[in-house]
Structure 1
Amino acid sequence: MFHPFTNPEDYTTMTTTTFDRLGIWNWERPDINDEVRYAKYAEDAGFDSVWQGESRLVRDAMSVLGAYTQVTDEVDLATGVTNCYTRNVALMAQTFSTLDELSGGRAKLGVGAWWDPLASKVGIDREQPLRRMWEYCTVTRKLLDLENVTYEGQTLSVEDIELDLVRSDAEARSVPILIGATGLTMNEMSGELVGEGIVDGVMMNYLIPPEHNEKAMAKLEEGAERRGGSLDDIDRPQLIAVSMNEDADVAIDNARNLATQYIGQQPHIRKACGIDEDLGEAVSERLGGWPADAEAIEEASELVSDDVVTNIVAAGTPEDCVERVGTYCETGCTEPVLYSLDDNVEEVIDVFAEYKAE
């Protein structure tokens, strides 16, 4: 394994930043067994959560989370995030009832509205993502509370269904639900759902600048207060991409391709970044659509400057990364969920563990 630095304790005196909570995010490591190992490693280092990505058609999150339940004892285990379309609402409730049992009550459901063109390519109509999220979370919560549910909505309908727990623990499943919110309207609605007692918070997205968090906080608070809640009621973990190396230039270069992909392929990310529209369109054109091959990504990345990369990725030396992640906490994040872009996952865990508040 590549080791960009040797002793994380060497970096503990460089910043006063501390973190009350920390998580890691796993997704598509070449060897899936490494993801299982990182989950255990993070728990041993004092981290609070492990999140499993499920964005593109790579690995499904549920199978891997099941594996995590068998090698960890204390960390929360969450999807970061799954979507509110491909699993019907009954199956989602059934799945998280099972993960709740396997983990001893440590499962969390992070759920988002997915994205095009992937959704349309598999036959999903995303014309009403806000309405879908409201209805999906509402019915899921009722099912996890072991209610019998009949619901007639605009995007989903169920009749006389409930979790059939005759032969298992028939207690309500206290599974926190967090909405993967990037757009300001989705944040506002998420605040309303927290105020209604349906969801517990949001999982804020990655590859956006900290300044976007400030706008999201205002919308979250507005939505929550409309329904009798407050911003303090809203949990706000955030996925943050980390590219760490003793050589800051190397770290930035290592993050450029991912930044390029998201700027060019996911308009909601581009909008949240405040990327110049002409640049975004130029990057998208060079990528040539979704999915893009490695050669197209490399060519398009020539358009993405260092400033753009460091605006949306915690990229640089260990001190740079810790301080940048701290900026996300200062602007609203309650728990950084770190995604190491390189194969130095354990080293990133070690460095940030040194800044964990006692």
Structure 2
Amino acid sequence: MSDPTFDRLGIWNWERPDIRDEIRYAQYAEEKGFDTVWQGESRLVRDAMTVMGAYTQVTDRIKFAPGVTNCYTRNVALMAQTFSTLHELSGGRAMLGIGAWWDPLASKVGIDRQNPLRYMWEYCTVLRRLLDLENVTYDGQFIRVEDIELDLVRANADPRTVPIYIGATGLTMNKMSGELVAEGVVDGVYMNYLIPPEHNEKAMAKLKKGVEKRGGSIEDVDRPQLVAVSMDEDRDVAIENARGLVTQYIGQQPHITKASGIDPDVGEQIGEELGGWPADAEDIERASRLVPDDVVTNVVAAGTPEDCVQKVADYCDSGCTEPSLYSLGPNVEEVIDTFAEFKAE
């Protein structure tokens, strides 16, 4: 088997005990030639926008994005305003990863996620027009704005070339994202983690169908992907270190459960053991006993450095154009160093 080669590489920052470490990892990834840093924001943890503002001041080249924020809690005009500002601060390095969030978290904060596909279509359509510095009036089913535009009288008034990536896990969302790429609204999808490479192949088929429906090509669709990495010279240790995260997401996020390939009955049992969202450490430990090794290694790059590199390459072979590496342990710099050796010149 020949050594894999990665044309592009990114990292994913999330929930480090010391927020300053996330800043340091972004800087280190840039030093090692990585292309992007994605900032997690799927739960009520750190606000990605604040951290990305810090990235603009301590890095020079690396691009950055939330991976992913949601399309509900920030009004579309505010989102355009935020990314216009990040675009300016960074010299054009800001990107936007945006998803339709998930229940039960959305409902717990008062969000009614009826027809998230239509909501995402309207939101991204208006957002792109605002970033293009258009004056926008839009009367949609969910998004309604009248005579608005970014007020850049005293700022650089060039269009904000901010790439937009839809965080698509479900197959229907992938198809719609392909259509929006062909329409020139978004640039691609940010493929999810804790799914097997085989799910990528299904997503690719839907992306192709969607983009071709509106006259585009699958080559038009950029496809970075979040990939969880649990790396240790002892393969068993690496797998054990990943088991808790796999348990938590399979048991609590239905879209992950469906895409993970796990037996639905097992997924239901795990959810019952967790006892709902959020789960505490004891709940996760108890439920993790239901998650076998092969389920972990099916959805996580878990094992020795060689195992991890090959698993990430499998995701690329099945559709990913740029892996965003999420180190599940404290060895973030080791993971960056390992993959930097396989970065194409």
Q: Normalised by the size of structure 2, how large is the TM-score?
A: 0.99
Deviations 1:201-255 (A, max 9, x none): 0000000000000000010010000111010000000000000000000000000
Indicate the residue corresponding to 2:183 in structure 1: 196
CA distance in 1, matches of 2:269, 2:64: 38
The 8 Å contact of residues 15 and 319 in structure 1, kept in 2 or not, is answered as: no
C-alpha separation in 2, matches of 1:96 and 1:27:
20
- 1:106 is aligned to 93
2:71 pairs with 1:92: no
Whether 1:243 and 2:230 are equivalent positions in the alignment is: yes
Q: Following the alignment from structure 2 to structure 1, what is the Cα–Cα distance between the partners of residues 141 and 239?
A: 45
Residue in structure 2 matching 1:348, options 326, 335, 339: 335
**Poorly superposed stretches of 4+, deviation over 4 Å:** none
Query: Is 1:294 matched up with 2:281?
Result: yes
How many positions carry a matched residue from both structures? 345
Alpha-carbon deviation of 1:352? 0.2
**Counterpart for residue 135 of structure 1:** 122
CA contact (8 A) 1:15 1:323 kept: no
Q: Give the C-alpha shift of residue 156 in structure 1.
A: 1.4
Corresponding residue for 1:309? 296
Higher relative contact order (CA 8 A, sep 6+): 1
Task: Give the letter aligned to residue 100 of structure 1.
Answer: H
Letter in 1 for 2:120: M
Distance 2:263 2:205 in 1: 24
User: Hey, what does 1:6 align to over in structure 2?
Assistant: none
> Of the candidates 18, 25, 29, which is equivalent to residue 42 of structure 1?
29
Match of 2:262 in 1: 275
Note if contact 1:241-1:338 (Cα within 8 Å) is conserved in structure 2.
yes
**Which one of the candidate residues 205, 214, 223 is aligned to 2:210?**
223
User: Which string of whole-angstrom CA distances, capped at 9 and with x for unpartnered residues, describes residues 162-210 of structure 1?
Assistant: 0000000000000000000000000000000000000000000000000
- Residue 240 of structure 2 aligns with which residue? 253
| TM-superposed deviation, 1:273 | 1.1
Q: Is the 8 A contact 1:23 1:337 kept in 2?
A: yes
Match for residue 116 of structure 1? 103
- The match for 1:65 among 52, 57, 76 is 52
Structure 1 match to 2:3:
16
Rounded to whole Å, the distance in 2 between the matches of 1:119 and 1:28 is: 20
Structure 2 SS opposite 1:139:
helix
* CA–CA separation in structure 1 for the residues paired with 2:90 and 2:269: 46
1:27 is aligned, of 3, 8, 14, to: 14
Tell me the secondary structure at the aligned position of residue 137 of structure 2: strand
Instruction: Name which of 133, 149, 154 aligns with 2:136.
Output: 149
Matched, 1:180 2:135: no
Deviation, 1:15, is 5.1
Aligned pair 1:55/2:14, yes or no? Answer: no
Decide which of 290, 294, 315 is 1:328's aligned counterpart.
Answer: 315
Between the aligned partners of 1:105 and 1:140, the Cα distance in structure 2 is 17
Query: Conserved in 2, the CA contact under 8 Å of 1:18 and 1:355?
Result: yes
Per the alignment, in what secondary structure is the counterpart of residue 355 of structure 1? coil
Kindly report the root-mean-square deviation, in angstroms, between the aligned alpha carbons of the 2 structures: 0.7
Deviation at 1:27, TM superposition (A): 1.1
| Amino acid paired to 2:163 | P
Which SS does the other structure have where 1:307 is aligned?
Answer: helix
- What's the CA shift string for 1:72-112, capped at 9, x where partnerless? 11111111000000000000000000000011000000000
State the 1:310 CA deviation: 0.2
**1:284-332 residue CA offsets vs partner (Å, 9 max, x unmatched):** 0000000000000000000000000000000000000000000000000
Consecutive unaligned residues of structure 2, counting only runs of 5 or more, are: none
2:212 & 2:113 partners in 1: Cα distance?
A: 28
**Counterparts of 1:272 and 1:258, CA distance in 2:** 15
Which residue matches 2:113? 126
**One-letter identity of the residue aligned with 1:157:** R
**CA-to-aligned-CA distance 1:264-296 (integer Å, 9 cap, x gap):** 001111111121111001000000000000000
CA positional deviation for 1:46: 0.4
Farther-moved stretch of structure 1 (183-192 vs 150-159):
150-159
Matches of 2:187 and 2:34 in 1, distance apart? Answer: 20
Residue type matched to 1:113 in 2?
A
**How far 1:155 sits from its partner (Å)?**
1.1
Secondary structure at the counterpart of residue 204 of structure 1: coil
Tell me the equivalent position of 2:63: 76
Q: Secondary structure at the match of 2:184?
A: coil
SS of residue in 2 equivalent to 1:338: strand
- Structure 1 spans left out of the alignment, 5+ residues: 1-13
